[in-house]
Every structure is written in structure tokens, then in C-alpha cells.
Amino acid sequence: MKEILQALVEIVGTEFVSDQPEERYLYSMDPGTMPAREPDFVVMPDSTEQVRQVLLLANQHKIPVVPLGAGLVLSGLSRALKGGIILDMKRMNRIIEVNEMSRYALVEAGASQGMLQAYLKKHHPRLKHSAPDAPPAATIAGNVCIHGSGHISHAHGFHSDMLNGLEVVLPTGEVTRLGSCATSDYWFSRAPLPDLAGLFLGWAGTTGVITKLAIKLYPNYRFNDVGVFVCEDARLMPDILYRMSETQMAEDLTAWMTPKPDWARGFLHSNINYGANTKEELIWKRNLIRASVSEYIDRKIAGFIPMPAAMKQPFLEVPARQLSRFADVRKGGGFEYVGVIMPVDLFAEAYELGLEIASRLSVSYSLGARIIGINHCMMFFYAYAFNRADPADVQRAQRALEATNRAAVDMGGIPWKAEAPAQKEIIRKMDPNMFALMNRIRAVLDPAGIMNPGNWEID
């Protein structure tokens, strides 16, 4: 162990490696319910070359390596399940290039959502990226590689769909570029080359370490507005969302259902966010959206909540703070949610499931969904807040999460950024040949099995 520590110090410098109990404790957990797992070392590289050297060392000594962004995934994916090194990427946070004309940004893997947002606001006010509602410290790489979604996902899909290219360090130490950047100085797209980026998307850091990535940027509209449409019948939701999405006017379409405040209990809200460069265009878009659901409005069974500008503000915020506020409702710093990727058709069943589990297991809940693409699918979330200082509360939330994961898989959905136990639920239903292929790929890329072991495994 001493030699490994020394070797790591030689790679990143004394200040950026630790095997001390304080750091090992802090890096042993995330805000979710998964039990703490202490790493042996925490390492903070500053360059692709340092990452490469760390991986060569780990590969040589068969030491597990767990890449870490902000550790906000909540499902314990960046815990060191088998000990080893937590590779904290936060120092590699440079924004390398913004190509205004081709609308992309090239960043290092540790660059955070907040940093890019602030940078664009200052230097490229006509552009924005699709930010998730995660706290601004969340990294762009950590979010893209889990197939995250955010404020432009209704218009443009998962954040992984917005990825133009990657620089990755393979577990065996090779530095590889994927996408147009493999052949050109420009990071403009993943087409037309064979698309190998998928080897690092959805794998929970088990195939390599992303060191740079380019993502697409989008017009930052001068004027933005939101409509909050409310109804009482979950069975109407797929059609409401279908109609709204048919207009293709929105950047973001989300649903929320929460028992607090009292006036919201039992109602289903759809927030539709859209933008424009002139007020006239904004009103035109609003009218198209409104017309799409006029049948429900005319029957008086649903409608847009009238909101003065100040009331709209929280719904126009990026990231939206409401979920973070709910996350703290039980105090004690515990929060986790099951996000299930599923067809919009299943909305009513998904909603009933959440209500049933929350009532059966007595947990504080908030339910919602982000529509990904124009109704192509949704990320339906079941958020359970808990007080981390109260073991009984943690256990209640854990049971709710497990029950939700299991039922969601049975319903035809797939838990997103699934915890290790939920990954097993997914594997249980997965085409065995797909799982076999995953294992063959991992064996090729990571012959020593060092990358985030304990994930995407049966046992």
C-alpha cells in the first residue's frame, strides 16, 4: 500500500492524493441510501496524462478505479465497492473551446454544469447547453455518461444524444478519441464514423475514464415562458403530453405530482417551457401549445394555471431549485430517487405505483417526469426524501426505492443510473445475449477488471 501511495504521489503530487481516514470517509458515500464503502485512496488528477498513469499503475497492480464527478448521482455508483482508488476528476475542469458557429463546447471531464452555464452566459450569450436540475456542481461528463437529461431534452433527447465526441483513457492506459475529433480538429459530431462512444455511455464508469468531451449547444432565447397545465386524471396524461409535444414548440416538458403544498395534492401538472427571440414569436408558440390541448380546456377538465410573471420565475429557473428543496424536506441530508426510463404510455400506471408505494411504506414522496424527445420516452421519477441521521427513515426510503425499481422493471420500464442491486433487477430481465456481449466487451477493454467493479455484475 505504501508503494502505491508513493507511486500515486509521484503522478499527481502530495496535495492531490490521500489515504487518510477523513478523505476515505468523505468519499465513501453519496447522499443516497446505498451503504458507505471506503476507498483506499482518493486521487485528483489534473491532466489526461496523469489519468493515464494512474490507470497504468492500477492495471498493473489490479487496483479498482472508480471515476468520480461530483458524486451527485445519488445511487451510489461512484462508491468504491471493492476498495481501490476514487479518481476525483474535479481538477480537470477547463472549458477548452466553444465553437459558436457549430454550436458545441469542448470541456474537460471535471467541468461542472454551473461552470459551463456561467461561461456561456458571459462569453457566448446566444448559446446554452441542456442543464439538468442537479445542483450546479454536477459534472457534464458524469451526467452525459449516465444518459442524463435536462432543460432541452424534450427538444433534443438525452444528454448522451447531445454528445459530439469523447477523449477517453482505456483501463489499459491507451488514450483514445471517439467521434469526429478522432479524424479532425473539430469536435462537431459522432457521425459518420463507427459510433464507439456508446462503449462509455450507460456503463457507470466500468469501461474507462472520460477525460474530455464535446457537447452540443443550443440557441439561448431572449424571451422564455412556461405554461403549467393541470388536470386530475392520470389517464389523460399520455394524450396531453402527446398533443403538446406534437407542436414541437417546447424545449422542456415535465410533469410533477406532489402532496405538498396541500393545493397540489391529487393534481397532475405539466410544465411546458418554450423560448423565442421576439415577444410575438413567444405568443405565437403559446397559442399553438394552447390550441393543442384546447379540447381539454373546452371541457373544463384541465387548464393552464394563471400565473403572474413573479410566480413563473421558479419554473423558469435552470436548474430548478424545487427538487433540491424537496430533497431536504426531512433534513439530515438524505435524498435519492428512482428515475425510470419508460414509454409515456405507462404514465398512469407509473403514477399509481408511486402513490401505492408511498402510502404502503409511509415515505415522503414527490413524483414527476421529464419527457425525453417529443414523447419518445420519459424519465419518470419517484423521489423519496429521508433523514440520513435516522436509520429507520433510511431503511424506509431504501425499501421504497427497491420496491419501485422492481415494479418499474416488471412494468416495462428501465431504472436509470440504477444502484448495484437495481442493476441486478435489470439484468434479470435483460436479453442474456446482451449481457454476455457486455461482459465480452468489458473483458476486452478491461482485462484486469479494475473499472468500478461491482457494477453491471451478477455476483
Partner 1 sequence: MYELNYDPQICAKCKTCDCLMKCQYIDFELAEARVEKEKLLNGQDTRILQECTTCYSCEEYCPAGNHPFYQIVERQEEKGFLPVPEPITKQQLTMMEPRGTITPASVSAPVINMCYFPMLTDSIRGKLYENTSMIVGSDIFCNIMWLHFGKNSAIRERLPRMIDNIQQFYLKDSGVEEVVCYHDECYGAYTQLAPAFGIEVPFKVVHLFEYLSNKLDELSDQITPINAKVAYQRPCSNRLIPQTQHWVDDIFQKIGADRVPREYDRDNALCCGQVLRAQQRDDLADDVQKRNLDDMQQAGVAYCVFNCPVCMFTLADAVAERGIFPILMSDLCQAAVEKKAE
88 vs 225 by CB, closer to partner 1: 225
175 vs 297 by CB, closer to ligand FAD: 175
Query: Does 138 interact with ligand FAD (rule: CB under 6 A)?
Result: yes
CB atoms within 10 A of CB 279: 11
Closest CA to 322 of 223, 248, 228, 219: 228
* Beta carbons of 221 and 126 less than 8 angstroms apart: no
The entry of partner 1, ligand FAD, none near residue 283 (CB within 5 to 8 angstroms by kind) is: partner 1
Query: Does 209 interact with ligand FAD (rule: CB under 6 A)?
Result: yes
Query: Does 306 interact with partner 1 (rule: CB under 8 A)?
Result: yes
Closest separation in Å from C-beta 272 to partner 1: 14
**Among residue numbers 269 through 298, which ones bind partner 1 (CB under 8 A)?**
283, 286-287, 290, 297
SS3 372: strand
Question: Which range, of 70-78, 214-222, 238-246, 297-305, touches ligand FAD by CB under 6 A?
Answer: 70-78
The identity of residue 374, as a single letter, is I
* Beta carbons of 384 and 337 less than 8 angstroms apart: yes
For residue 102, give every residue at least 6 positions away whose Cβ sits within 8 Å of its Cβ, in sequence order, or none.
186, 188
Q: Which of 324, 362, 395, 439 binds ligand FAD (CB under 6 A)?
A: 324
Question: Which range, of 130-138, 188-196, 272-280, 423-431, touches ligand FAD by CB under 6 A?
Answer: 130-138
208 vs 276 by CB, closer to ligand FAD: 208
Q: Which of 11, 44, 204, 372 binds ligand FAD (CB under 6 A)?
A: 204
x/- track of binding to partner 1 for residues 205-244 (CB under 8 A): -------------------------xxx------------
400-420 residues labelled b (16+ CB within 10 A) or e (exposed)? bbbbbbebbbeeebbbbbbbb
Residue 179 C-alpha cell reads as 467521434
The identity of residue 263, as a single letter, is W
CB atoms within 10 A of CB 298: 10
| Partners of 330 in the β-ladder | none
The entry of partner 1, ligand FAD, none near residue 303 (CB within 5 to 8 angstroms by kind) is: partner 1
Closest separation in Å from C-beta 9 to ligand FAD: 22
Strand 41-43, strand 85-88: pairing: parallel
The identity of residue 130, as a single letter, is S
Interacting residues with partner 1 (CB under 8 A): 230-232, 261-265, 267, 283, 286-287, 290, 297, 300-306, 308-311
